[in-house]
Structure 1
Amino acid sequence: MKLKGIFAALAAILVMGMLTGCLGEDKFKQEVEKEAGAVKLVREVQRGDYDVITTAELKQLIDAKEEMVIVDTMPLEASYEKNHIPGAVQFLFPIPDMKTWNTDETAGKTKADYEKLLGPDKDKLIVVYCGFVKCTRSHNGAAWARKLGYTNVKRHPGGIFAWKGAEYPVETGK
């Protein structure tokens, strides 16, 4: 009887391991997913002609009081007002690749509105972020900053999730 119980427990552990990927099967599939995400990010960066910045690098710049514009590209009420990187300003961009400016996708705001938000200094550091690496709102915001002639544009791909994951402070409200 004890032997039967041990085999049942081992079978249960084996099934659980297979379901949770503990036996190594999922690590290969996970790597394919990571690769696809990394390649997607690289291609967006190449297409948008901007640079990237890590969470730690952005925090260092904020701590050093570097002059920059930080743009949160997520919805105002659903995201930005709940939490955003300190000092960030909000400008909504859509998730799908925004090849042409469509005011329906930017909450009625125009290219001129975005340019006004970014300011007249085309060489000032512009950092654009959204929620997380897979979110392409930040790609659209960074790519459009470049299209408007800004030369020092960086995308923070980890976005607010990476910022909070690093346990850095956030702001709330408008």
Structure 2
Amino acid sequence: MKSITRFVGSSVLSLLALFLLLATAMPAIAADAEFKTVSSEVLRDMLEEKRAFTLVDARTNDEYQVAHLVSAISIPDKEFEKNIALLPKDKGALIVLYCNGVKCGKSKKVAQKAKEAGYTNLVIYADGFPVWEEKGFPIVAGPEYAKKIDTRKLSPVQLKQILAEKKDAYVLVDVRDEFEFAEGHIDGAINIPAESFAAKSGVLPKEKGIIVYCNSGGRSYSAYRKLMKLAYPSIFQAILAEWKDAGFPVVKSKL
């Protein structure tokens, strides 16, 4: 009987110790929890219905000046303290923050700083500016928005050499439609159509070079611009027509 009593007593003490350990750990877990998120369509509806909330662009001020969501204010991560007065006085007011998509951490950094400043109703628009723009939702465009960019183009010979010698360091992306990809694409390419490129770009690793191509350059130029806005550091463009003209092969696949 005494042994049973000792067993029960030790079990209760063990459970109590476990409870205290979990109780101590809970604040750390809560502090690291993800912020709530909002979809593109819901955020669009919120803006159209003129709901009361503050929209924060957490990208750099230069990016904000090029283009931003309607009614957004600019509070870059590194300038939070300087611009905190732009946030509402009511610490419980709804604040939605965005940056350059799912792989951009700037909106979460600003949200964390706002949380530390006492704000309690913080939501992240995770898709960010590139997807919003891709969906054709309203933006405020500055004079630099339509400025043409110079892409880093690869010749067919350069691309062939990369695929032969450094394939693991790059991702080759065919940005044409699915049926065009099936009819003939460069071996090793993946297919992400240009019209949904930003929305599906999460599969592309930022630590690798990204090579985008299409038939003649228009759609791959668009994808290249989106990659720039998504802050990919190493981007290249190739042209399928030039690849074929050089006599290099394409492969077919099933839809």
Query: Root-mean-square deviation (CA), in Å?
Result: 2.1
For normalisation by structure 2, the TM-score amounts to: 0.42
Distance 1:46 1:63, change over 3 A: farther
Please tell me whether residue 152 in structure 1 is matched to residue 124 in structure 2. no
Matches within 5 A, 1:20-169: 47=32, 50-77=35-62, 79-93=63-77, 106=78, 109=79, 111=81, 113-169=82-138
Rg larger for: 2
Distance 1:49 1:115, change over 3 A: farther
Instruction: Show structure 2 runs of 5+ residues with no match.
Output: 1-29, 143-255
Distance 1:137 1:110, change over 3 A: closer
Secondary structure of the 2:56 match is strand
Kindly indicate whether structure 1 or structure 2 has the higher relative contact order, using CA contacts under 8 Å at least 6 residues apart: 1
Whether contact under 8 Å (2:57, 2:99) holds in the other structure is yes
Q: Which has the higher strand share?
A: 2
Please tell me whether residue 172 in structure 1 is matched to residue 157 in structure 2. no
Instruction: Show structure 1 runs of 5+ residues with no match.
Output: 1-44, 94-105
Secondary structure of the 1:154 match is strand
What is the CA-CA distance between 1:48 and the residue it aligns to?
5.3
Runs ≥4 residues deviating over 6 A: none
Percent sequence identity is: 27
Secondary structure of the 1:71 match is strand
What is the CA-CA distance between 1:82 and the residue it aligns to?
1.1
CA deviations 1:105-149 (Å, max 9, x no partner) are x1xx353x3431112011111011001110000110111111111
Query: How many Å separate the matches in 1 of 2:61 and 2:80?
Result: 16
Amino acid corresponding to residue 89 of structure 2 in structure 1: P
Query: How many Å separate the matches in 2 of 1:151 and 1:165?
Result: 31
Query: How many Å separate the matches in 1 of 2:87 and 2:80?
Result: 13
Secondary structure of the 2:89 match is coil
Amino acid corresponding to residue 126 of structure 1 in structure 2: I
What is the CA-CA distance between 1:172 and the residue it aligns to?
2.6
Secondary structure of the 1:81 match is helix
Structure 2 match to 1:27:
none
Structure 2 match to 1:6:
none
Equivalent residue pairs, number:
114
For normalisation by structure 1, the TM-score amounts to: 0.60
